[in-house]
Structure 1
């Protein structure tokens, strides 16, 4: 993952399949990978302390092995001697005998303290409260500050540590049954909010997906609510034209396709990347509705028609999905935000310009960062003036929800912000804008 810049949730299943792992062995490989990536910043601080040198001075292959060994020593039930010996063996094969001696010494120092003792040591060495939180909960300081500001906008800044802790817990597998095409299994545990969601009963969820021909699918509950917020914000009139402007990987597209089919609407999808456009086509294959998928820049594609509903699931930092993509926290930086916010604004402007009178855009990001959410929407409203109005997405989501949902007002807007620690979903932001 460190050398290819790919994400574990894409690479790991293939690697496990190639190695022929199953059951406990596959579970062990998954925990080793995700757990190590999730706590990488904390482990790097511990390794640096134990090694007496910066991790930047350690050979990358050796450092990766040390991270895996540290995770086994401090966060798994692996016996210390087994974790040390196996890691040293890997280092010897990758980097030679001198490096293996170094790894042995470092890991033995790591094993002298428990994780709680190491965290207390890191707490004492932290130069600020944000740095302390960053080391304790394995989040970059800039992400911690962005989360604090987003929570403070709701008057909930005191929930910060709960959010950081939730980001380090593997999410429960959530599935959706495409409305009108599949039913939530009678013996399944329904999700608390999405009317089409349920918890995986265990085992390989892929078997359920295959058996249903894609009409049952793995999908975060927040993603389900984001798609349903657009399709159910107002009654569907037969003949409406809908557009999913940034559609990959296609989960929300599939929900919209099922909803369009039920209401007699037409749906088009767009995705700039040809490979990812293929994922969208696969996602809607189980819906008996013709969904053309174009492969264009969304900023120009939107203007090729007039639409009644448009989903802008904009490219973003992905800070709302750190439970699923734990390494994203180490790959993104504050420098990524301005360019993404500019792109998000351009996509939203293009979508608003493509609306028919009375048409609605759902602007969605899997990030709670205010620069990618509230700021983009408020600037769009300022630019478009009286031509566009914001709807109350919080009320729409609450109306859809199976049970009452805690969505406090944020900065005077109607934006609905979901959170891992509060709702058990990805931190999805949902705004609804209507052309007057």
Structure 2
């Protein structure tokens, strides 16, 4: 995605909520450029609240490197937007961010200039307008007029330019734009950077016919999964309490149809937490893997924000074990402390590569990675990551895995996990690290430890996929010290 500058300051909005933003057109009144005597507050009255919130959200993502899943809920609460308006703002925000690179290609063609040359506030407004025109059931006149109202507020000098660009965009539908700008281009069609498309193709190996299914799954919003904490509530009880359904694979997973998971008493009371079913499966596989000797000391070497540490802590409590959770970032270490309250987990703030302690029986390395396996949950992530992010990440991953193996006693188990299917972060990382230990590491087949999961790879590692399993693309390798 393009670089971004700083949007102009805006005042807080007053006034009521839009009753039907999906079909709402431009506000009535003078359509001329805002004069110097007109306040920004008065200009903002022209923009309906859901679109205004969506604009602020994507501006924060582009300008401040914010995260939509953190920024948007705060804005919705601040502006008291609920119900259909909140759903409209959410779809507009996430959809615009998810398809950002492809929308930029269309905008550049319609504007006859590179998007980098468009002022950032205008650029973000055009992205929102293009998404409404090409991907939402918003009448074209409403999409154009409300976006022009938005530009009138944030960049009044660009009103005519924005109006012309939007009208050109609206002359074709999405498929026609794709056929004109990049026929057969999967990166453009499915809004993924080309290097990510190549990485997915490589990871699929001889199943490249699934590539389009995988790319399409990334563009489908991920459902909410809960983890029922063992010993506190069963998955069936949690499903009955929340109106969800028990997950198809893991013993602790519950899938919610919709709604805010934090509103459920079980989550508020620490009986359950939000966690993708794939993440639950890899943590449970480590806990269930057969080992030799004692089974009392467990370690989570990269614990933030704490979901896997909480599941491991719940299992450890049932088995008379204790967990050490290490997290290098202080704010994430505090999140881990919050997640594991009441569980036999001790949190350490430090670098897992330097952690010094007596040997452990089970060690989890949920290594920092590109996150390419969770793009459906993080709409902005695909455009932020670049190929040059890989070398420092892969170096860190190998160093953490070596540290984990050093911290594991003979007969103990290490689980190496990434939320990325990129072969440099998965199979290659494991193979290169094992070579350094000169025969002291045994690979275990991870697939039998994934309950009810089929088609998870050739082994001995396991690879989950959004399009096959409905989970994030989690990778798991189980290694035993011998």
TM-score range, shorter chain: over 0.9
Structure 1 match to 2:425: 372
Question: Following TM superposition, by how much is the alpha carbon of 1:118 offset from its aligned partner in structure 2, in angstroms?
Answer: 1.4
Asked whether the 8 Å contact 1:237–1:265 carries over to 2, the reply is no
Structure 2 match to 1:190: 246
Task: Summarize the Cα distance change of 1:404–1:415 in structure 2 as closer, same or farther, 3 Å threshold.
Answer: closer
Question: Following TM superposition, by how much is the alpha carbon of 1:393 offset from its aligned partner in structure 2, in angstroms?
Answer: 0.9
Task: Work out the number of aligned pairs and report it.
Answer: 417
- Give the Cα separation in 1 of the matches to 2:133 and 2:258: 28
Matched, 1:292 2:342: no
Structure 2 match to 1:357: 410
- Give the Cα separation in 2 of the matches to 1:200 and 1:353: 40
Deviations 1:167-209 (A, max 9, x none): 0000111111011211223543111111110111433221225
Matched, 1:424 2:475: no
For residue 426 of structure 1, give the secondary structure of its aligned residue in structure 2: coil
Asked whether the 8 Å contact 1:237–1:263 carries over to 2, the reply is no
Question: Following TM superposition, by how much is the alpha carbon of 1:282 offset from its aligned partner in structure 2, in angstroms?
Answer: 1.1
Matched, 1:115 2:169: no
Question: Following TM superposition, by how much is the alpha carbon of 1:395 offset from its aligned partner in structure 2, in angstroms?
Answer: 2.1
- Give the Cα separation in 2 of the matches to 1:191 and 1:236: 31
Structure 2 match to 1:135: 188
User: Which segment drifts farther, 105-114 or 185-194?
Assistant: 185-194
Matched, 1:84 2:144: yes
Structure 2 match to 1:415: 461
For residue 30 of structure 1, give the secondary structure of its aligned residue in structure 2: helix
For residue 386 of structure 1, give the secondary structure of its aligned residue in structure 2: coil
Structure 2 match to 1:307: 360
Question: Following TM superposition, by how much is the alpha carbon of 1:305 offset from its aligned partner in structure 2, in angstroms?
Answer: 2.5
- Give the Cα separation in 2 of the matches to 1:210 and 1:4: 34
Question: Following TM superposition, by how much is the alpha carbon of 1:122 offset from its aligned partner in structure 2, in angstroms?
Answer: 2.1
Task: Summarize the Cα distance change of 1:16–1:4 in structure 2 as closer, same or farther, 3 Å threshold.
Answer: same
> Which of the residues 307, 320, 341 maps onto 1:251?
307
Structure 2 match to 1:220: 276
Deviations 1:77-127 (A, max 9, x none): 11111111111111121112x301100000011111111211221234xxx
Structure 1 match to 2:164: 105
> Which of the residues 59, 67, 70 maps onto 2:127?
67
> Which of the residues 92, 97, 100 maps onto 1:32?
92
- Give the Cα separation in 2 of the matches to 1:404 and 1:390: 19
Structure 1 match to 2:58: none
What TM-score results when the alignment is normalised by the length of structure 2?
Answer: 0.84
Deviations 1:260-305 (A, max 9, x none): 01111111101111111111111112xx33311111011001x322
Structure 2 match to 1:332: 385
Structure 2 match to 1:405: 454
Larger Rg: 2
- Give the Cα separation in 2 of the matches to 1:51 and 1:235: 62
Q: Which runs of 5+ in 1 are unaligned?
A: none
Question: Following TM superposition, by how much is the alpha carbon of 1:236 offset from its aligned partner in structure 2, in angstroms?
Answer: 9.8
Q: Which runs of 5+ in 2 are unaligned?
A: 1-60
Asked whether the 8 Å contact 1:230–1:311 carries over to 2, the reply is yes
Matched, 1:10 2:70: yes
For residue 299 of structure 2, give the secondary structure of its aligned residue in structure 1: strand
